[in-house]
Amino acid sequence: MPSFTITGEIDPFLHVSLRKGEKIFCESGAMVMMEEPLQVKGQLRGGLGRALMRRLANDESLFQQEIEAVGGDGDCLLSPTLPGAIELLDVGPDASYTLSDGSFLAAESGVEVRPRLNTLGGGLFGGTGGFVIMEAVGRGKLAVSGFGSIFTLDITPGHDTVIDNSHAVAWTSGLRYEVGTPRTGGGFFGNIVNSATSGEGLVIRFSGQGKVVICSRNRAVFRTQAQ
């Protein structure tokens, strides 16, 4: 199977080694370098319907890159669009992951990134893909990226965790989550006012058993300040 290695501490690369006949897929434009035996091509992975759903859910390209070792063994380097860390996740029958906007970088061919319906709250408030979000299922390595540094939280029963909506990268699909405003004890109107005055926007409240990958930087705030 392909070998995934994160190389570099600041704005790292994803280094992938493939044997002849192996392939991976990644977000459009992620390939930085590849050796001669490898071949890259654009694919409407999952067909036009699912490609359109990915576009609507995560604002990603209709086409994804497929890199295959055609002429022999070879290596390639991949990089996310925004500066930040990369995290490797193991997808399996009991470990699927929900992905936030723009977090997908690459995966083995045994992993399928497919659309599914969001929760009602998540769909209404947005920020995690609207009414349609992306989920990684199947079996194999999955590489996700976050803006800034990355940290993985373990969520356990009885210890609900609140995370700023813009800092969530990916989470175990079995987790329960609600999207809303931070709770202040002042009722619905008080929560809305506090959210506006404190600078904290929407949050995701996770409960159950699983993992959440978070990043240190807020992409939306950064883009606003950069304009």
At residue 215, the pLDDT reads 94
What is residue 218's three-state secondary structure? coil
- 30 burial level (CB within 10 Å; 0-12, 13-18, 19+): buried
Q: Which residue has the tokens 């190389």?
A: 7
At residue 120, the pLDDT reads 46
Mean pLDDT, consecutive 10-residue stretches, the chain (227 aa), reads 91 96 92 96 61 52 83 96 93 93 92 72 45 82 94 95 90 88 52 42 88 88 58
At residue 191, the pLDDT reads 42
At residue 50, the pLDDT reads 54
What is the secondary structure of 158-201 as a DSSP string?
T--EEEEGGGEEEEETTSEEEEEPPP-SSHHHHHHHHHHHHS--
CA–CA gap between residue 88 and residue 105 (Å, rounded): 10
At residue 133, the pLDDT reads 75
CA–CA gap between residue 177 and residue 10 (Å, rounded): 31
- Under CATH, to which class is 3-226 assigned? alpha beta
| Torsion-angle region of 166 (φ positive above 0: left; ψ -120 to 50: alpha; else: beta) | alpha
Domain residue ranges in the chain = 3-226
Q: State how beta strands 13-18 and 3-7 pair.
A: antiparallel
Task: Give the CA count within 13 Å in the CB-facing half-sphere of 23.
Answer: 17
